[in-house]
Every structure is written in C-alpha cells, then in structure tokens.
Amino acid sequence: MKRHFKKMIAPTIAILIVVAYFAFLGGMLVFGDGIPVPIRILGLIIPAAFVGVGVFVLAERVNEIKRGEEDDLSKY
C-alpha cells in the first residue's frame, strides 16, 4: 500500500478540486435569488452527475494503481 500511496495523491487532489468546484457551482445556482425552480433543479442534478462520474473514475484509477497498471496507455 505504501508503495502506491504517492501515485494516488494527484488523482485524489484533482477530483477533490473538481468536486469543490461543482459543489460551489451547484450551490450558487440553488441559493441564488431570482432563479427559476427548473434551473435550480438542473443546478443540482448536473453538477451531482459530474461529481458522481468523477468519483467513479477516481475509484477505477485507484484500482488500476493497486493492480500495478500505472500507465493507462499500455491498454491501447
């Protein structure tokens, strides 16, 4: 585990930044004054979907690193 820890830092930080950005964006759309309800709902659904996809991709990347596949391009 310790051998792979350093390789997991960059993807984790990148996903945390993306999650924080979409949480901020969704929060601004939801709590903004004068924004219609359908836009508020989309303001929650769309960023939540991006966050879900990002977390899924991070989980896949962590599994690849643990299996020893540090280079994604070796598959192609």
Residue range 16-70, pLDDT digits in tens: 999 899 888 878 877 778 888 888 888 889 888 989 999 999 999 888 888 876 6
Longest Cα–Cα distance of the chain, Å, equals 52
Q: Please tell me the predicted confidence (pLDDT) of residue 1.
A: 54
| Amino acid residing at 59 | A
Q: Which has the higher per-residue pLDDT, 31 or 11?
A: 11
- The ranges assigned to domains in the chain are 2-68
- Using the Cα atoms of residue 59, residue 65, residue 66 and residue 67 in order, give the sign of their dihedral: positive
Tell me which residue of 47, 11, 10, 13 sits closest to 28, measured CA to CA. Answer: 47
